[in-house]
Amino acid sequence: MSPDFQLLFFPNLLQPPLFTLHAALFTLFFILIIFISFSPGGLAWALTLTKFVIPGPPGHPITGLISVFSGVTPHRALAKLAKRYKAEPVMAFSVGLTRFIISSEPGTAKEILGSTGFADRPVKESAYELLFHRAMGFAPYGEYWRNLRRISATHLFSPKRINAFGGFRKEVGLKMVKEFDTMMSKNECVEVKKVLHFGSLNNVMMTVFGKSYDFYGDGVELEEMVSEGYELLGVFNWSDHFPLLGWLDLQGVRKRCRCLVTKVNAFVGKIINEHRMKRVSGEYVVGKSVGDFVDVLLDLEKDYKLSDSDMIAVLWEMIFRGTDTVAILLEWILARMVLHPQIQAKAQKEIDHLTGNSSRHVSGEDIPKLPYLQCIVKEALRMHPPGPLLSWARLAIHDVKVGETIITAGTTAMVNMWAITHSEKFWNEPEEFKPERFMEHDVDIMGSDLRLAPFGSGRRVCPGKSMGLASIHLWLAQLLQSLKWVPYGDGSVDLSECLKLSMEMKTPLVCKIVPRVVDALE
């Protein structure tokens, strides 16, 4: 065969070095894929070359467990995987280039949440763009975050302040009862979510900004801003796990965040200025008036060197964290009341007994004398924790020992609280809704007992837990005292879950309501 003929018909044969290079690269790539495909924990773990092997699924060679997180119930999928890999104490996995561990049992969960090594949080792009790295939940572990925790423990969520807002909480509860009653008089059934969400938002707005909003008036724009923020914080953003995709902003998250931040800055900035004016006019006197969260931060802005944008971030985060969790939990509880009429009746009997057959409205002071009602809330937190993966993960700031393994700095750690609260190892009949279990054996839910820690634990435990519980207990008592919750249609309630920023009911609860106490509605 002449060289000309070869060149014409087999050009590649004349380039043996390039061919060999292609083949070598392909073989290398192939070996790499095989190596990653069998590496416990997948790509991100394979790249660390750590000598400690943690069991876990390799997942997809490039994207890892991305499909789990883009699904609606990642807590269930992760619980199943932890069982399959016998990795309940600690399981490793990757999402893109992010290294994760997850604990599905109380011992290692306590180690993770209690360790200073995990006192940081990984900051998602959306949180950063929404300026939440200056708010308590995402601020890095350090002096600034410690100051915010101090302010929240001593001032924002002090028992005195929680009590001071008791009157408004009660008003919100009565408004919700009235709203439900009006809705029922116009329709065959009610969808409860919107009312609960608006009640909760209004309550947080009063506590944080000292302002109340109408169900259908000026609250609508605010509600839209909050919903947009939830969506942006809850969305699975590819840029968080594939840094190279960051600049492309394929999902438009950055663009939407920037648009929302402008609106939020204008909205909250105006409220802060109004509060400053009240000081000038003498309407608010430092040290004498009991103010809202804005007042607290303005009182302390010099001592703690807080800028206006710091205050906006802290205040806006409270709206996000405080509204959704409370409304969602109440919706789950009401769903349970519809499904379990005998439990509902028992709680109503307890309330009637205390209030003299409902001759007066139940109030915040009654809650300590309603143990069964409190058990219902605990059981709902066990079965339907609003943050099944404790919402926001932790980040290892240095190498930390968990169980028998050293976890390298930069690893994201999660706790699967849902897996723990649904495990037969720790709970009898975990799939049964049985508030009575807590009458027999009480369990602390504030973070000391990791069998049930829906508010997290350790240094970054939820600072709003007492305030959240005060609202949930009171509103549940009010909604049960005044109204009977009954099934609509075929009587079934769909308990399917959907994890966004919090774990919501996939199908919003729709039911019928029958008034119980007429005067409570007036």
In angstroms, what is the minimal distance from the CB of 273 to ligand HEM? 22
Residue closer to ligand HEM by CB (options 209, 242) is 209
Structure tokens at 343: 């439990």
Q: Does 326 contact ligand HEM by CB under 6 A?
A: yes
Per-residue string for binding with ligand HEM, 77-116, x by CB under 6 A? ------------------------------------x---
Asked if 318 touches ligand HEM (CB under 6 A), the answer is yes
State the binding string over 456-485 for ligand HEM (x if CB under 6 A, else -): xxx-xxxxx--xx-----------------
Min dist. Cβ of residue 470 to ligand HEM (A)? 9
Closer CB to ligand HEM, residue 42 or residue 456? 456
Which residue stretch of 228-236, 258-266, 361-369, 390-398 sits at the interface with ligand HEM (rule: CB under 6 A)? 390-398
Which listed residue (161, 193, 321, 422) binds ligand HEM by CB under 6 A? 321
Cα 136 to Cα 67, 114, 150, 206, 231, distances in angstroms: 30, 17, 11, 20, 20
Tally helices (H) and strands (E) across the chain.
Answer: 20, 11
Cβ proximity to ligand HEM, 42 vs 454, nearer residue: 454
For position 454 contacting ligand HEM by CB under 6 A, the verdict is yes
Instruction: Select 61 or 454, whichever has its Cβ closest to ligand HEM.
Output: 454
CA distance 247 to 340: 51
The least CB distance from residue 454 to ligand HEM, in Å, is 5
Are β-strands 503-505 and 412-415 bridged in parallel, bridged antiparallel, or unpaired? unpaired
CA 495 to chain centre: 19
Q: Which 502-521 positions form the footprint of ligand HEM (CB under 6 A)?
A: none
- What contacts 333, CB < 8 A, 6 or more positions away? 376, 377, 380, 472, 476
Q: Which is nearer to ligand HEM, 465 or 512 (CB)?
A: 465
- 9 φ, ψ (degrees, to nearest 5): -100, -25
> Which pairing describes strands 394-395 and 412-415: parallel, antiparallel, or unpaired?
antiparallel
Dump the DSSP string for 328-375.
HHHHHHHHHHHH-HHHHHHHHHHHHHHTTTTTS---GGGGGG-HHHHH
487's CB contacts (< 8 A; 6+ apart) are 338, 339, 493, 511, 512
The CB-of-279 to ligand HEM minimum distance in angstroms stands at: 24
| Residue of 375, 390, 407, 509 that binds ligand HEM (CB under 6 A) | 390
Read off the DSSP letter of residue 116.
G
CB 464 within 8 A of CB 321: yes
Q: Which of 126, 202, 391, 412 binds ligand HEM (CB under 6 A)?
A: 391
* Nearer to ligand HEM (CB atom), residue 326 or residue 334: 326
**Is 455 among the residues that bind ligand HEM (CB under 6 A)?**
yes
**Rounded-to-integer distance, Cα 82 and Cα 76, Å:** 10
Q: Which is nearer to ligand HEM, 66 or 313 (CB)?
A: 313
306 near ligand HEM (CB under 6 A): no
| The residue to which tokens 């809330």 are assigned | 377
Is 498 known as a binding-site position?
A: no
- Whether residue 179 contacts residue 197, with contact meaning beta carbons closer than 8 Å, is answered with no
Please state at what angle helix 293-300 crosses helix 143-151, rounded to 10 degrees: 130
Closest CB to ligand HEM among 43 and 102? 102
Give, in degrees to the nearest 5, the angle at Cα 466 between 463 and 472.
Answer: 125
Given the rule CB under 6 A, which of 79-87, 334-342, 455-463, 481-489 is the region that contacts ligand HEM? 455-463
Nearer to ligand HEM, 294 or 467 (CB): 467
CA distances from 399 to 111, 223, 405, 437 (A): 13, 42, 10, 39
**Count residues contacting ligand HEM (CB under 6 A)?**
29
Of residues 147-176, those binding ligand HEM (CB under 6 A):
149
Q: How far apart are CA 90 and CA 402, in angstroms?
A: 8
Q: How far is the CB of 215 from ligand HEM (least distance, A)?
A: 20
387 binds ligand HEM (CB under 6 A): yes
Q: Alpha-carbon distance 346 to 357, whole Å?
A: 13
| 392 contacts ligand HEM (rule: CB under 6 A) | yes
The minimum distance between CB 118 and ligand HEM, in angstroms, equals 9
Annotated binding site for heme: 462
Q: Which residues bind ligand HEM (CB under 6 A)?
A: 113, 136-137, 149, 204, 317-318, 321-322, 325-326, 329, 386-387, 390-392, 454-458, 460-464, 467-468
